[in-house]
Copies of this chain bind each other. A is one copy, B any other.
Amino acid sequence: MNAAGVGSPARRETADVRDERQLAWAYLSRVVLGPCPALTALIDSVGVREAARAVRERALPPVLRAATERRRELDTAARDLEMIRDSGGRLITPDDAEWPAWRMLGLAQLTPGRDPDGAVPLVFWVRGGRDLSELTERAVAVVGARCSTGYGDRAAAAMAGDLAVRGWTVISGAAFGIDSTAHRAALAVGGATVAVLACGADRPYPAQHDRLIARIAETGLVVSEYPPGTVARKHHFLVRNRLIAALADGVLVVEAGLRSGARNTVKWARRIGRPALAVPGSVESAASAGCHRMIREGEATLVTGPEDVLAEIAPLHLPLTAGSTGADRLGDTESRVLTALPAVGGRWPHDIAAATGIAVAEVRVALVALDLAGMAGRREVGWYRLSRAVEQDR
């Protein structure tokens, strides 16, 4: 299997094997504590159980030995899984149907040597009952200054609230300021929201947002690539930002000072092909200086309201892969999904699954394959077939 997991539906395995694989994922997640492209490559090559065995036995190339040495003897996998369950959560791995493989495509294509922190996460430790793929099917990241102003809070609330009402999931980092305003605005309208943490999902940070994070878990998801109990370190926040960008269709920065972490999230967004958007403000406000600089330097597109945001993010921006192929390679599932797509308007995966009898997870994988083949696209109302595909289908 490959790290992004595209086109590799979960294997049908015995419960024992599944448990064993889950323990292996949990173990490796604890050992590397964050992105580790060399380990991802090893798992791609030999499978997760074999990779875990190699790490335990130190049967590794030097680069991986260094990365795993410190905690390889610390096998707390069973306890970690229990801890996440105790906090009302679970571990999501590439073995699971809800693994958001298509969301990870951009990260999977980064060059590990140049972006060591940009690797596809091994796993997601989550709190909350929602399906991660479904929840991030249409999603916008709303991030910004911790020291936001009244203006920024109003803009963040108005835009996140409006997008949530329209069915877009609001993704953010649960920080003070713009982040929490965006989460709260989505919750206030009964919309969906996802918090991506730089610490364990069971360990609310900042502590003052304990209650907010619990509310997010009730109706949305609290997500982390770090095992339960992990304390957030400075570097974790920068690495976490790539997941905020990857899980969303675009990154909206509402306010940002010149040294804001939001610029880091925008950098990840650009690196993996997600539109980056910024809200302007007064030139007299330091809280807007970072937004202005990003707009001026072409790093972000100026947006003034939800309509502007949707114009940028509703069309899907999948990264082009070298192996993108045409209709000649379409499998049976892709062909049936393609037939179910309208040329006018759009249709969402659940609807397509109901119409075709194909599992929704497989529908999603098929849609990504069709998009990469240039035969399907996404607009605000759902997926549609491109005219090129219509011709080929005749």
Binding site for B on A (CB under 8 A): 151, 154-155, 279-284, 288-289, 292, 295-296, 301-305, 308
| Contact partner, A289, options B282, B295, B303, B304, Cβ 8 Å | B304
Q: How far is the CB of A74 from chain B (nearest CB, A)?
A: 50
* In contact, A295 and B284 (Cβ under 8 angstroms): no
Q: Is the interface of A mostly helix, strand, loop or mixed?
A: mixed
Q: How far is the CB of A159 from chain B (nearest CB, A)?
A: 9
Q: How far is the CB of A303 from chain B (nearest CB, A)?
A: 7
Which residues of chain B have C-beta atoms less than 8 A from A292's C-beta?
Answer: 280, 302, 304
Chain B, residue nearest A301 (CB): B296
Which residues of chain B have C-beta atoms less than 8 A from A295's C-beta?
Answer: 280, 295, 302
Which residues of chain B have C-beta atoms less than 8 A from A289's C-beta?
Answer: 304
* In contact, A302 and B304 (Cβ under 8 angstroms): no
Measured between alpha carbons, how far is A283 from B303 in the docked complex, in Å?
9
| Contact partner, A283, options B283, B284, B301, B304, Cβ 8 Å | B304
| Residue from A154, A282, A284, A305 with most neighbouring chain B CB atoms (10 Å) | A282
Please name 19 further chain A to chain B contacts, defined as beta carbons within 8 Å, in addition to the given A155-B283, A296-B301, sorted by A numbering: A151-B282, A151-B284, A280-B280, A280-B281, A280-B283, A280-B292, A280-B295, A280-B302, A281-B281, A281-B283, A282-B282, A283-B305, A289-B304, A292-B304, A295-B295, A296-B303, A296-B304, A296-B308, A302-B302
Measured between alpha carbons, how far is A284 from B282 in the docked complex, in Å?
11
Q: How far is the CB of A65 from chain B (nearest CB, A)?
A: 49
Which residues of chain B have C-beta atoms less than 8 A from A279's C-beta?
Answer: 283
Measured between alpha carbons, how far is A40 from B151 in the docked complex, in Å?
53
Q: How far is the CB of A282 from chain B (nearest CB, A)?
A: 6
A–B Cβ pairs within 8 angstroms, 16 of them: A151-B284, A155-B283, A279-B283, A280-B302, A281-B281, A281-B282, A283-B304, A289-B304, A292-B304, A295-B295, A295-B302, A296-B301, A296-B302, A296-B303, A296-B304, A296-B308
Q: How far is the CB of A102 from chain B (nearest CB, A)?
A: 29
Q: How far is the CB of A107 from chain B (nearest CB, A)?
A: 29
Measured between alpha carbons, how far is A280 from B296 in the docked complex, in Å?
11
Q: How far is the CB of A295 from chain B (nearest CB, A)?
A: 5
| Residue from A289, A292, A301, A305 with most neighbouring chain B CB atoms (10 Å) | A292
Q: How far is the CB of A313 from chain B (nearest CB, A)?
A: 14
Chain B, residue nearest A303 (CB): B296
